[in-house]
Structure formats: C-alpha cells, structure tokens
Amino acid sequence: MIWNTNLRWRLPVVCLLLEVALIALFGVFVRYDVDADPHWVEEKVIRNLSTDMENEFYYRYPSFQDVHVMIFVGFGFLMTFLQRYGYSSVGFNFLLAAFGIQWALLMQGWLHSFDGRYILVNVENLINADFCVGSVCVAFGAVLGKVSPVQLLIMTLFQVTLFSMNEYILLNLLEVKDSGGSMTIHAFGAYFGLTVAWILYRPNLHHSKERESSTYHSDLFAMIGTLFLWMYWPSFNSAISNHGDAQHRAAINTYCSLAACVLTSVALSSALHGKGKLDMVHIQNATLAGGVGLGTVAELMILPFGSLIVGFICGIVSTLGFVYLTPFLESRLRIQDTCGVHNLHGIPGIIGGIAGAVTASIANIDLYGEEGLAYAFGIERSKLNWSPNMQGRFQAAGLFVSLATALVGGIIVGVILRLPFWGQAPDENCFEDAVYWEIPKEPKSTACIEDSSLKPQEP
Amino acid sequence: MIWNTNLRWRLPVVCLLLEVALIALFGVFVRYDVDADPHWVEEKVIRNLSTDMENEFYYRYPSFQDVHVMIFVGFGFLMTFLQRYGYSSVGFNFLLAAFGIQWALLMQGWLHSFDGRYILVNVENLINADFCVGSVCVAFGAVLGKVSPVQLLIMTLFQVTLFSMNEYILLNLLEVKDSGGSMTIHAFGAYFGLTVAWILYRPNLHHSKERESSTYHSDLFAMIGTLFLWMYWPSFNSAISNHGDAQHRAAINTYCSLAACVLTSVALSSALHGKGKLDMVHIQNATLAGGVGLGTVAELMILPFGSLIVGFICGIVSTLGFVYLTPFLESRLRIQDTCGVHNLHGIPGIIGGIAGAVTASIANIDLYGEEGLAYAFGIERSKLNWSPNMQGRFQAAGLFVSLATALVGGIIVGVILRLPFWGQAPDENCFEDAVYWEIPKEPKSTACIEDSSLKPQEP
Amino acid sequence: MIWNTNLRWRLPVVCLLLEVALIALFGVFVRYDVDADPHWVEEKVIRNLSTDMENEFYYRYPSFQDVHVMIFVGFGFLMTFLQRYGYSSVGFNFLLAAFGIQWALLMQGWLHSFDGRYILVNVENLINADFCVGSVCVAFGAVLGKVSPVQLLIMTLFQVTLFSMNEYILLNLLEVKDSGGSMTIHAFGAYFGLTVAWILYRPNLHHSKERESSTYHSDLFAMIGTLFLWMYWPSFNSAISNHGDAQHRAAINTYCSLAACVLTSVALSSALHGKGKLDMVHIQNATLAGGVGLGTVAELMILPFGSLIVGFICGIVSTLGFVYLTPFLESRLRIQDTCGVHNLHGIPGIIGGIAGAVTASIANIDLYGEEGLAYAFGIERSKLNWSPNMQGRFQAAGLFVSLATALVGGIIVGVILRLPFWGQAPDENCFEDAVYWEIPKEPKSTACIEDSSLKPQEP
C-alpha cells in the first residue's frame, strides 16, 4: 500500500471546497431568528415584553460559552495525553469542530429551525451545533492518532448528517427527552467512532505502541481538558433545558453526579492496581462518566440522591472498562479505542439512556405537580394519550435507534475512510505529530540559561 | 516507624464508604428548592412573577461557574508548581473537592437551608459548598506534598464540619458580613492548615528539598491556576451578595483591588531580589492577596480607591511574607508551609477581616441612603438597636472566632492525622508523585522525531 | 552602550509611584454608577423597575468575565510559544494589563463617564478598560522579547492615553460603530506596536534567533491562549453592544466568522508548506483573524454568510501574511514583529474597518425595520440628517484616524522607549526569561523516579 501523507493539495482543496459550499448554503438559507434580528424591537411590542432580558440570549448565552469551552479546550486538551500527538489532538479537534459547527447549523437548521424559506438561528442553534460536534469529538477519540485530517473532515461531514437525522427521529418523532445527550451525543458518538475504528483496524499498530502512552507533562495538559469538561458539564446538561426550574435542576443534578463519580473512579483506580496506585487515565476519563450518565435524566426529577447513584455507578463501570474492557476490545474484537471512549461515553451513555427511561416511566403528579408535569414533558402540545410508562418505552426505543444508527452509519463511513488516498499514515507512524505538522527542533540543551551565559553587563 | 504507602484497600474503602454514606444522607435529607423544582410553575403564580428570569438560577449561575473553575482549575493548577507533584496537586485537589462539596451541601444545608424536614438546595447552595471546599483547598496548600489522599479525605471531613459551624456562628449568630469569606474561608482555612502542618511537622523534610522547587514548565502550569483565580475572583467575592447593586459593587471593588495588588507584588518581588529579578512564587501567589483582602468588604461601600488601598497593602505584605516570614515559620515555629498559604490567605484574610470591621463601623446614611443601608446590612429583619459601630465590633469578633476555631480544630485534626496508618510517605519521599501514582516512563529521547525517522513513503 | 538590566530600583519605583498616583486619582474622581451604588434601591423606584434583573450587571457580567479571560489568559498564553520567554509573556502581560486597566478606568472615565464631578463606574467601564488594555496586549506582541517591564509600563501609560483619545474621536465625534474594536483596538494596537518596534529596531537580533522559536510544549501552552481567545471572541465582539438583538447578533456573527477562518487558515498553512504540513504559528494566530475582522461589523446586519465571507478572507490573508509579509517587514522595513501582530491584528483590523464602512453604507429599513435602524445607529438621539452612506464615510474616516494616531503616537512613544536607561537587554539576550526572572535550576535528571528510588518500605 502506498502511504502518501503529503496533504499539500488534498487538505487545502477539501477545506476550501467545504467552506465555499457552506458560504453558498448559508447565503441561501441562514437568517437571524427574531431574537437576534433588529425587528426584535417590534417583537417586544407584539409579545408585550417590557425588557430585553427576555431575549433568549440572556437565558442561554452563559451556558453556551461553557459548552463552547468544553468542545474546544475540553475535548481538545483531554486528548493531548499522548506524548507526541498534542498538536494533532488540539489542532485537528479545532479543525473538525470549526467545520462541524457550520455544517451542523445547516443540518439541524433544516430539521428543527426551518420556517419554510430560511433557517432562523439564535443562541440555541449555536449550542445545538456545539452538541452535535461534541459527538464527533467523541468519535475522534476512538480513532485518535490513526487518521488524517482529511479523513476527519469527511467523517465530520457524514457524522453531523447522521447525528442530525438521528436527533430528529428521537426528539421530534419519538418525542424523547435527552437534553444532555446521553443517547444522541455520547452513545451515538461512541459507537459510531468505535465502529469506524473497527473498520479501520490496523494490524501492525504495535509498531507505534511506544508513542501510545503519556509523558509527565502531557498528562498535565490532559488534566486541563478533564477539568474544564468536568466543571462545565452542569452547563452542558442544562444548556437547552426549559427556562427556569428545568435548567436549574439539570445543573444541580449534574453537579452531584460528577462529584460522586470522582470518588468511585479514584476508589476503583486504586483498588485495581497492584500497589494501590492511581492511574492518570482513570482520573482523566472515568471521573467524567457521571456527566455522561446524567445526560438524559438531568432535567427530570431524579432527585439529588438519584444523581449521586448514577454517578457512583458510572465511575465504577467506567474504571472497570478501562482496566478490563479496552484490552478485550482490542485483542478480541479488533477495536482499537485510543482514548477509551467506550468506557467514558459508550457505556455511561447507555446507562444514561436507561436511567432516562426508568425516571420518565415513574414520573407522576406528586413529584412534578400537574402543571409541572405538563411543562416538563411538553404534554399540552400534542400528546393526549401520554403516560409516563409510554414515555419510558419511547425513551428506551430512542436508545436503540441511536445505537443502530451509529452502527450502520459507522460501517458506511468506515468503508469510505478505508479508501487509500486520504493521506493516512502507515501503522508505524501513528500517534506522531511529525507526519502532519512542522515540528520545532528541540533546543540543544533544556538546561536553564544561567546568568553566566548572559552577556556580561558593563557596570 | 513503618511507612506503608500502599493504599490498595485503605483508599478505596474510605472513598466508597464515604460515598455510600453521602447517598444515604442525600436520600433522606436533600430535595430541590422551589426554584429548581417543577412546582416553580405554581410558585411563579404565587409570587406574581411574570418571567422565569426571576429564578435564582439566572442571578447566580454565571458566578457559580466562575467559582467552580477557581476551586478545581484555580487551586488545582496553582499547586502544580512543584516539579514532581503535579498529578497529586491537581488530582488530590480534585478528589478532596469532589468529596467536600457533597459533605458541605449536607452540613451547610442542615445549618442554613433546612425546612425542618428537608435540605432544599438551589444554585446558592452549590456556591456555598464550593466556598466551603475553597477553605479546604487553602489548608491543602499548607500540607501539600506531605500527606496521603486518605489523610486529605479525613481532613476534608472534619474541616468542612468545622467550617460550617464557624460560618453558622459568624453569619447567623454574630450576623457578620463576609460574602467573599476573608474570615470564614481564607483566614480560617489558612490557620487551620498551618496548625495541621505544625502538628505534622517533619524534622527530616530537608531530604526531599530538591523536589520542593519548581521547573520551568511546572511554573507555567501554576500560572494557569493563578490567572483563573485572579480573573474570576470578582465573581467569587460577589457570588452570594444581594441581588443588584451589592453583587455589582463587589465585582468592581475586587477587580480594582486585584489590579493594584499585581503592581505592588511585582514591585516588592523585584526590590527584594539582589539583582532586581522577579520571583515566580510571588507572581503566582502575592498577586492574589488583593482578592483575599477584599473578601469581607467587597460588597460594602469601601469605594474604588479604598479597594485599591487594600490591594496595595496586601501585595506588599504578602510578598514580604514569602521572603521573610515563611523561612521564619519553618525554622523557628516548625511550621512547614509548602505553598505559603500564610502569606496568601492567612495575613490577607486578617487584613480583610479588619478592613471589614472598619468599613462597617463607618457605614452611614450619606453613603448608603436610608433604604440602601437597611438592605445592605439586613437591618429591617431583626436588629432594632443596630448601629454601624456595633456591626464593626461584631465583625472583629467574627475574626477572632474564626481564628480560634481554626486553631483548636487544627490541633484536633492534626493529632488524628498523625496516627501512623493513613498511608503517609516518609520524609525522604515527600513531594513525589510516584508514591501514589502510576508514572509514565519518559521516552528514551525527548528530541523530536525528524522526517527521516518516519517510515519512508513510497512515491 | 551600557546594558544594565538590573531593575532593582527602577521597576519597584515605577510600579509604586504609578500605583500611588492611581490611588490618589481614584480617590478624587472615581465613584460607583447608580447600578453599583446602594441608592440602586431608590433608582429602581424612580425608573419604575420591578426587578434587580434590570441592573446592568446581569446584562454584561458574563461577557465581561469572558473578555477578562481573553486579556489575561488569552493574550498571556498566546505569547508563551517562545521557548525561553514563557514567564515574561504571561508575567509581563499580567503586569501591564493590571496597570493598564486602572489607568484606562480613569482616562476612559474622564472622556465617557464623567458627570462633571465624578467618574461613575459600572461593569461596562470594566469591559471598556479591558478592551483598551487589549490594544496594549496587541502592541506587546510586536515588541515581545525585546523590551523591559519598565518600558512596558511606560508604553502602557502612553498607549492607554492615546487609545482613549482616539476612541473618543471615533465614538463620540465621528459617531462610528466599532463595538468589537476592529479599528480602535486591533488596527490601532497593531500599528502602534509595529511603529514602536520599528523605532526600537535591533540590528543584531539574529544573535538571539535560536531562542526566537518554539518547543513542543511551549506550543501547547500557546494553544491554551489561542483557544480561549477563539472561544470567547463572540463575547468580546458583543460585550458592549446594545441590549437584546444587537448583543445576540454580534455573538452569532463572530461565531460564524471564526469557524470559517479556521478552515481557510488550515488550508493555506498546508498549501504553503513544501510537504503540505501544518505550521503551529498559523493555527495559533491566523485562526483568530476572523474575530478581529468582525470587530466593527459584528452587531450590524452583515448576515451569517457575510460573516463567513469575512472569516474566509481573514484566514487566507493572515496566513499569507505570516509566510510572506513578516519576513519582508523585517528584512526591508526593519520592523521586527515577534508575534506577527501585523497579520493577526493589523490587516484583519483594516479589513474589519472596511467591512464596517461597507455594511453601514448599505443599511436600510428593509433589513433593520424602521425602529431597528434608529436603535442600531442611535439615530433618534442627534443625527437628523443621518444617512447610511454618510455613516459609511464616517466609518472609513474612523479607520484613517486610528491608523494616523497609531503611527504618530508610536513614533513618539518609540523615541521615549529608545532612551538607554529603561533596563532593556542587549540584542544577544533577547527572548530570554533569565534576564528579568529568577529561573529554577532544572533537576539533574528528568527521568521519572522509579519505585526503586523510593525509600524501601518496611513490610
């Protein structure tokens, strides 16, 4: 096989073509929602609003910025743990996310914000575009170090498309609750990525093994990613919840779940090591599983102790996954999951989907109040024969649909990415920035320059 | 003495037991406040609110997220300055804070948000829990590198308990103002930690001295912590102030104080060095003292120039402390203060408490307006015979109570932590991640991989 | 020439004198705006406000914090790419910004928020002070590594003064729109800095060339700066826009422009490299040009596809600038532009100014609605004979005024900074932290400490 990793024309052409196409489509389709349009002055009169504070911007912009940080710094730096792949982790994540959010604005816009002629965008569209790209970042974790940026752009193009369709089926047809995306973002992203990694199996990857580990400082860079994901996850799970109590509750629940998850991740990490030592991989990843697990249920009445239980379980399962499941996936199923997304997003996403189905099916008027229940599940809108039990079953159906879409989509996209002309590196050169990046020469000596080496100063 | 640092069973058992206990207590006691409960829809009718914007969430959530970043990234990375203790600084801070916020939700809940049957939590509880843990992070700075994670969890358990009781005495019994916690968080945390460090004195710590310093890159990691603390401190000091002008004023004052503090820290750092060079320790720490010093007074009418003066003094005193006081504490008082918390949180916390007493005692109607004065000090509620002078004296009393609680509590907790079976390391192995962490092998060569080392590409 | 870089008395004296002067001026002039004053309770009655939510604090504080992060972490870390200048990049940026915001509060206050007796500050003043300092950070990029902290403080003193006067001419006399500062912040800051760098030309800088490059980890630190700038730029461009739709629109437009800019930066970076490899310098800088280019136009009706086009162009022009223009400036015009601010802030700032003039000149009632147009351009206030065409011409005039002020001011300040007693380093010692910082000794071995090196544990 010919490995030509020189992307001189392929990468520029793909980037420029995609961007030109995006500009054309934006020109035809994308306009401002009334909350972001100068006609807002008139809208306030129509809706009898006395204050600009009612603009959607003020309800959601702080959460949007937190989510934005998660996508670019959170996911980007989380993946810098590899010793020689920091540029690519941060840089390719930056590239695919920047492309993905534009394409997601269009895809999700056509399906959710289309007024017949235009896609009307406001801050909620920005959040949803970031969410959609979040699922691509998850999938990126599974193929990290083994694909070229051209392959990543193609994967993003397809995955955003599939994500939007799957999301449409879940939210609009099945009318499922999934505000933090346990199913649509995490489970979908993880199993999509794992399927792609399975198709792209590299039999000789052991030649790159010495680079598939961390160094002391690369692990600290990764902790920047971990902490920003962990801290802002309450914003992630509450960003598009209903105004008022739902957003508020989603933040509290996620905060609780994540805190519990840290303790069980640490406990298992120590218990599973021969000398009781902690493993950075678990601290960087498993501690976040509690956020994934709350993605469906955060805005529902799971109660704080319910959130703690979900976090408790996710931390344990995720750490166990890193120790036992990842090696098994690689040796038996030929799935090389670089970042262990199966443990951080896959299983916790499924747990989250199940928790959502259970919590929805036990919803009742005692817990929510009559109006509260109607508002939380949007019942007054359409669903005359709604029952909690039915909602629970639709939630479960949503999980299966997401998994099926991920598997089928992942196979198709994986086969496309196997084509030999996307600039991928040979197995020997995986996990190596020098393939696609100009790397600075290391200075001759890393020793500090002593005063004596400075030019003597005249008195 | 037997030094068994293998935590294989001790750490997991402690983590899991604590978490199970927390889940049980949350199940019995913790519910949502009405702002986070589906009954919010009905509450809006009762309180005649026309908009969800009046939900406490929108008043406090952006500040909460800033505080959250300070606790986890701010304190965590601030302590990564040690060359071989980065994993532990970030990781143990993560662990103790994640446990601490849960326990603080309960302790503070029982004392402040208990309706007789349930603790009702909203975003303000989350902020207060983060605040409480902030004081544990301060104390962690005093014992950094010398304690095991099991000791830290035990210290957190006790310190959160003591913090909540001390806070109750100050805020509810003495009715003291301390919205940014100069007294309750910083002075309490620092003197508690210093007392613990005093009890845990390690006579042979000089064997670890070569690791008790920074490297070039570890100092840059620490600057991430410094800057996030510095930037978000206005949110810290305003997060739980009254709605409206008090939050607004607290942010402005803190912004001013911190800016002034940077200039005096730099000035003193240069003046105290033989060749006029700056010391990273001062830039990382003393620049923050202006935030600590404003913790009591930020929301009061100290005026912007008053804030500058507090920042001016704190920067000078704190830098002097690093140069003269820390060595003195170690050599004479046998207090080994790893991070110099005495200079960053101890003295500035006392300065803040004093500034609060002075500013409160000169409050008057000219400055505040009649209604403004009543609102700022909550006078209409209970205090018929309230006078600024009296408030000032109660403020001073609050400071003494905090210091006394810290000393007594620190001695008790220190004695408990001296017990030999908590997995602490011998003096020779302090400040060393390898004791409790699986450390990656450094790559054979750190030199960059040149193109020539990549597998040749076929044409 | 005598190179005395010992700042022992010069730096402390300058810092302390400046701070004392600031305190005196604050004492005389600075008070709280009514939104931050206890009289807010009464103001609410006067303005018939039913809620504290109408306090300016809640409209702008989240954006303020984002801008604050951009100034201190964003600019600070962006400049850490140099291998031996990380302390200075972050530390001097911290110092100059902390001084600059105080001086800007005064200068901008006298010109914009002076009620005849006092400068009344609220959160908007804090944002504007950060903006003003942003332009100093830009100029700092041009002289990075070649000036002493004393020189930086003097430059800040003058540049903040000039910035405020230029801003006053543009916003108050020419009544120009420039909410994100393409002209006032970026073009002004860049050309001011470039002019200073031109005056301070160092003919023997090639002796420091081996330090004027990055290392692997210094590039990752720089990406922290890049990403926080990139992510929070929507807040930057919308922070002081009108409430409601204008803030909302500015955020959406900037988000779009920045996303497009990443794709064209990557495309050009790869296309201009012999082997199609990406260059970190472009990813760190050119990706941000889309935010600069939107600085004038973000709140106007450029439409999302217009934003994409601006981002598209800025990414291309900026990357081309790094490859072709920076070497040309150095070799022909003797302008040594360390960070390439000409490519990131200079040209994109001009593009932004032009885009603003064009967009303003085609404003019409169809796009904005009658009320919307009046509100967007503040027409009802003063301008009876206002026309879009005229607005466009004033916008263009504003750009020229900014450039002229930058050039003239830069020459004057450059000449002052050339004086030989400010502690600047010789050409051989540029880009070197050890000149002004106490540098830690590197540990003997960077190899990790194996278990075997830990003190053996007794069983």
Q: Kindly provide the ipTM of the predicted complex, given to two decimals.
A: 0.95
Residue of B244, B278, B373 lying closest to C40 (CB–CB): B244
Q: B405: Cβ–Cβ under 8 A, 6 or more apart, which residues?
A: B162, B165, B166, B169, B188, B192
Residues of C with Cβ-Cβ distance to B260 under 8 angstroms: 19, 22-23, 98, 102
Q: What's at B148, amino acid-wise?
A: S
Are B134 and B229 contacting, i.e. CB atoms less than 8 angstroms apart? no
Residue of B101, B438, B449 lying closest to A278 (CB–CB): B438
- Residue B308: helix, strand or coil by DSSP? helix
Alpha helices per DSSP H over C144-244: 149-168, 188-199, 216-238
As a whole number of angstroms, the distance between CA B265 and CA B313 comes to 9
Residue of A36, A72, A91 lying closest to C252 (CB–CB): A36
Per-residue pLDDT tens for C1-45?
A: 567 899 999 999 999 999 999 999 999 999 999 999 999 999 999
Residue of A266, A308, A440 lying closest to B11 (CB–CB): A266
Residues of B with Cβ-Cβ distance to A373 under 8 angstroms: 38
Instruction: Determine the pLDDT at residue B386.
Output: 85
Are C346 and C191 contacting, i.e. CB atoms less than 8 angstroms apart? yes
Name residue B31's beta-bridge partners.
B120
Quick one: three-class SS letters along chain A? CCCCCCCCCHHHHHHHHHHHHHHHHHHHHEEECHHHCCCHHHHHHHCCCCCHHHCHHHHHHHHHHHHHHHHHHHHHHHHHHCCCCHHHHHHHHHHHHHHHHHHHHHHHHHHHCECCCCEEECHHHHHHHHHHHHHHHHHHHHHCCCCCHHHHHHHHHHHHHHHHHHHHHHHHHCCCCCCCCHHHHHHHHHHHHHHHHHHCCCCCHHHHHHHCCCCHHHHHHHHHHHHHHHHHHHHHHHCCCCCCHHHHHHHHHHHHHHHHHHHHHHHHHHHCCCCCCECHHHHHHHHHHHHHHCCCCCCCCCHHHHHHHHHHHHHHHHHHHHHHHHHHHHHHCCCCCCCCHHHHHHHHHHHHHHHHHHHHHCCCHHHHCHHHHHHHHCHHHHCCCCCHHHHHHHHHHHHHHHHHHHHHHHHHHHHHHHCCCCCCCCHHHCCCHHHCECCCCCCCCCCCCCHHHCCCCCC
Q: What is the DSSP letter of C430?
A: T
pLDDT at C141 over 60: yes
As a whole number of angstroms, the distance between CA B105 and CA B30 comes to 9
As a whole number of angstroms, the distance between CA A297 and CA A256 comes to 13
Are B299 and B242 contacting, i.e. CB atoms less than 8 angstroms apart? yes
Give the gyration radius of chain B's Cα atoms.
Answer: 23
pLDDT at C459 over 50: no
CA distance B382 to chain C (A): 20
Name residue B437's beta-bridge partners.
A278
Strand spans (E) along C86-188: 119-121
Nearest Cα residue in chain B from C75: B227
| Dihedral sign from CA coordinates of C421, C425, C431, C436 | negative
Residue of B6, B8, B37 lying closest to A245 (CB–CB): B37
Instruction: Determine the pLDDT at residue C19.
Output: 98
pLDDT at A447 over 50: no
Average pLDDT taken over every residue of chain A:
93
Q: What is the DSSP letter of B119?
A: E
Instruction: Determine the pLDDT at residue C386.
Output: 85
CA distance C20 to chain B (A): 9
Give the gyration radius of chain A's Cα atoms.
Answer: 23
CB contact under 8 A, A428 and B42: no
CB contact under 8 A, C98 and B376: no
Subunits close to A (at least 3 CB pairs below 8 A): B, C
Global confidence as pTM: 0.96
Which whole number is the average pLDDT over A146-159?
Answer: 97
Token duo for residue C252: 């959406």
What does B151-207 look like in DSSP terms, one character per residue? HHHHHHHHHHHHHHHHHHIIIIIS----TT-IIIIIIHHHHHHHHHHHHT--TTGGG
Residues of C with Cβ-Cβ distance to A119 under 8 angstroms: none
Which whole number is the average pLDDT over C439-453?
Answer: 60
What are φ and ψ of residue A234, in 5° steps?
Answer: -55, -35
Residues of C with Cβ-Cβ distance to A214 under 8 angstroms: none
Residue of C62, C211, C369 lying closest to A61 (CB–CB): C62
As a whole number of angstroms, the distance between CA C432 and CA A365 comes to 68
What are φ and ψ of residue C103, in 5° steps?
Answer: -70, -35
Nearest Cα residue in chain C from A58: C59
Instruction: Determine the pLDDT at residue A446.
Output: 46
Helix (H) or strand (E) holding B31: strand B30-32
Residues of A with Cβ-Cβ distance to B49 under 8 angstroms: none
Mutation for A interface: B49, B75, B93, B102, most A CBs within 10 A:
B102
Instruction: Determine the pLDDT at residue A459.
Output: 40
Query: Would you tell me the crossing angle of helices B303-320 and B347-361 to the nearest 10 degrees?
Result: 150
What are φ and ψ of residue C30, in 5° steps?
Answer: -95, 125
Mutation for C interface: A63, A68, A106, most C CBs within 10 A:
A68
> In this complex, how many residue pairs, one in chain A and one in chain C, have their CB atoms less than 8 Å apart?
262
Are B73 and B224 contacting, i.e. CB atoms less than 8 angstroms apart? yes
Token duo for residue B110: 């029982």
Residue keyed to tokens 């000398």: A275
CB contact under 8 A, B308 and C443: no
Tallying the residues shown for chain B, one arrives at 459
CA distance C353 to chain B (A): 30
Instruction: Determine the pLDDT at residue B202.
Output: 95
As a whole number of angstroms, the distance between CA B440 and CA C4 comes to 44
Token duo for residue A131: 């969410």
Residue of C91, C217, C275 lying closest to B217 (CB–CB): C217
Residue of A6, A12, A457 lying closest to C3 (CB–CB): A457
Residue B67 CA neighbour count, 13 Å, CB half: 29
As a whole number of angstroms, the distance between CA C327 and CA C145 comes to 17
CA distance B52 to chain A (A): 5
Residues of C with Cβ-Cβ distance to B305 under 8 angstroms: 23-24, 26-27, 30
CB contact under 8 A, A245 and B40: yes
Token duo for residue B165: 């009781």
CB contact under 8 A, B304 and C32: yes
A412, exposed or middle or buried, with CB in 10 Å at 0-12, 13-18, 19+? middle
CB contact under 8 A, C102 and B248: no
Per-residue pLDDT tens for A345-401?
A: 999 999 999 999 999 999 999 999 988 898 888 876 556 678 899 999 999 999 999
Cα angle: B323, vertex B325, B331; to 5 degrees: 110
Question: Rounded to 10 degrees, what is the CA torsion of B375, B376, B380, B381?
Answer: 110
Nearest Cα residue in chain C from A41: C372
CB contact under 8 A, B22 and A283: no
Which whole number is the average pLDDT over C158-181?
Answer: 96
Top-confidence residue, A434 or A384: A434
Token duo for residue B419: 């017990």
Nearest Cα residue in chain C from A36: C245
pLDDT at A458 over 50: no
Q: What is the pLDDT along chain B (459 residues), one digit of tens a residue?
A: 567 899 999 999 999 999 999 999 999 999 999 999 999 999 999 999 989 999 999 999 999 999 999 999 999 999 999 999 999 999 999 999 999 999 999 999 999 999 999 999 999 999 999 999 999 999 999 999 999 999 999 999 999 999 999 999 999 999 999 999 999 999 999 999 999 999 999 999 999 988 999 999 999 999 999 999 999 999 999 999 999 999 999 999 999 999 999 999 999 999 999 999 999 999 999 999 999 999 999 999 999 999 999 999 999 999 999 999 999 999 999 999 999 999 999 999 999 999 999 999 999 999 999 889 988 888 765 566 788 999 999 999 999 999 999 999 999 999 999 999 999 999 999 999 999 999 998 775 544 444 545 655 544
